[in-house]
């Protein structure tokens, strides 16, 4: 499992459009966007990841174990945000 503190937005740029399986579930999320933010944080770059979920997916905010073929397993805190064109969206913010 990767330590998220070691990952930056550049690790996700090439993964837009790919699927992240949710551990212990048959569901997967598709990475839709990587957005960079200006931040004075000494911890590294601030950024967010936006994921699209399958239609009719209902989820709550919480830590999900996501699995990607290139990155392996990642524990991410995801928050549901407004749907786009009826597709449920989730966001992870790193700052």
DSSP 8-state class, residue 26: S
Reported for 65-68, long-range contacts at CB under 8 A and 24+ positions apart, including other chains, are: 65/22, 65/23, 65/24, 66/20, 66/21, 66/22, 66/23, 66/29, 67/20, 67/21, 67/22, 67/23, 68/15, 68/18, 68/19, 68/20, 68/21
Give domain limits for the chain.
4-69+80-94
Q: Are 24 and 73 in contact (CB under 8 A)?
A: no
Mean pLDDT, rounded, for 73-88: 94
Lowest mean per-residue pLDDT among 34-38, 41-45, 64-68, 85-89: 41-45
Q: Are 53 and 88 in contact (CB under 8 A)?
A: yes
Mean pLDDT, rounded, for 45-57: 92
What is the pLDDT, as a whole number, of residue 1?
59
Is the per-residue pLDDT at 44 higher than 90?
Answer: no
What is the pLDDT, as a whole number, of residue 75?
93
What is the pLDDT, as a whole number, of residue 2?
62
Segment 21-42, tens digit of pLDDT: 999 999 999 999 999 998 776 6
- Computed over every residue of the chain, the mean pLDDT equals 91
């Amino acid at each position: 499992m990767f330590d998220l503190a070691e990952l930056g937005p550049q690790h996700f740029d090439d993964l837009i459009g790919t699927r992240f399986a949710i551990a212990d579930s048959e569901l997967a999320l598709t990475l839709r966007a990587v957005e960079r933010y200006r931040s004075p944080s000494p911890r590294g770059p601030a950024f967010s990841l936006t994921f699209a979920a399958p239609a009719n997916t209902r989820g709550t905010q919480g830590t999900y174990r996501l699995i990607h073929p290139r990155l392996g397993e990642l524990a991410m805190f995801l928050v549901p945000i407004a749907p786009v064109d009826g597709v449920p969206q989730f966001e992870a913010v790193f700052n």
